[in-house]
Amino acid sequence: MKPAILVVDDDQKTVELIRLYLEKDGYRVMVAYDGYKAIDIARNSRPGLIILDLMLPKIDGLDVCRILRAENNIPIIMLTAKTTEEDKLAGLDLGADDYVTKPFSPRELVARVRAVLRRGMTEEPGPEQIRFGGLKVDFIRHETQVEGKLIHLTPKEFTLLEIMIKQPGRVFSRLELLELAFGFDYQGFERTVDVHVMNLRKKIETDPAQPRYIQTVYGIGYKFEDGAGV
């Protein structure tokens, strides 16, 4: 049985269009027309995925995403008319799994739903935590510590660190990291990875200018240095 999808948008026509295509594809659909109702349904009904508009009455989509992401890992696809790079990064940094801009193709949106759900189902379980030197990453608690001190990472910073630290020594291109961390080819925003890595280094490295853990492989991308020591 396919999971239930929560569609959150204050435009009834948009909601009904998405509902039509999702139900045709075999999904059960729940709807909410404002942010507070979306949070209430997500907490009580635990949908398999949320399609979330950014511009909502009462509480906007970014705040809804922030609140829900702090409580659970329900996949979230942002749906919005905002198309700037900054808008996309704001949603993805809060933990959204994908981003679709209006006007959109309902068939493409359903395909994105399938892809996001498929990624969640095919992820293989890994170690609960990894330690390299003074750096400790707990994947169950979603926590990072440096020399015993808890460090706050954004969801995307944590995801990038998790990708690299689980395969120490492997070189990842920027496009690979975009695909793995953001869930799709992020339409040329390769510098997004550079910004996230820079911020990540500031938080986990003793000297960000001479990083011990996340190394730049010039002309290619980045790797987690396996010689950092355990």
Q: Print the domain residue range for 86.
A: 4-122
Q: Are residues 134 and 223 in the same domain?
A: yes
What's the distance, CA 153 to chain centroid?
Answer: 13
- Element at 149 (helix H, strand E): strand 149-151
Q: Are residues 16 and 115 in the same domain?
A: yes
Res. 126: pLDDT tops 70: no
Q: Are residues 117 and 137 in the same domain?
A: no
- Whichever domain contains 137, its CATH number is 1.10.10.10
Query: Distance (Å, rounded) from C-alpha 67 to C-alpha 92?
Result: 14
Rounded to 5°, angle at Cα 191 from 61 and 204? 80
* Among 132, 107, 104, 123, CA closest to 227: 132
Phi/psi for 78 (5° steps) reads: -75, 140
| CA distances for 103 relative to 24, 82, 83, 108, angstroms | 20, 10, 10, 11
Q: Are residues 156 and 196 in the same domain?
A: yes
Last residue of a domain, one of 74, 96, 122: 122
Sheet of strand 76-80: strand arrangement: 28-32, 4-8, 49-53, 76-80, 98-101
Q: Are residues 94 and 135 in the same domain?
A: no
Last residue of a domain, one of 122, 144, 179: 122
| CA distances for 7 relative to 31, 37, 61, 94, angstroms | 5, 11, 12, 18
Q: How many domains does the chain have?
A: 2
pLDDT of residue 229: 42
Q: Are residues 15 and 113 in the same domain?
A: yes
Q: Are residues 173 and 87 in the same domain?
A: no
- Whichever domain contains 58, its CATH number is 3.40.50.2300
Q: Are residues 144 and 182 in the same domain?
A: yes
Per-residue pLDDT band at 189 (split at 50, 70, 90): low
Q: Are residues 142 and 103 in the same domain?
A: no
- Here the tokens at position 80 are 């919005």
Last residue of a domain, one of 63, 91, 122: 122
Biggest alpha carbon distance in the chain? 56
pTM to 2 decimal places: 0.61
pLDDT tens-digit series, residues 6-65: 999 999 999 999 999 999 999 999 999 999 999 999 998 889 999 999 889 889 888 999
Q: Are residues 133 and 118 in the same domain?
A: no
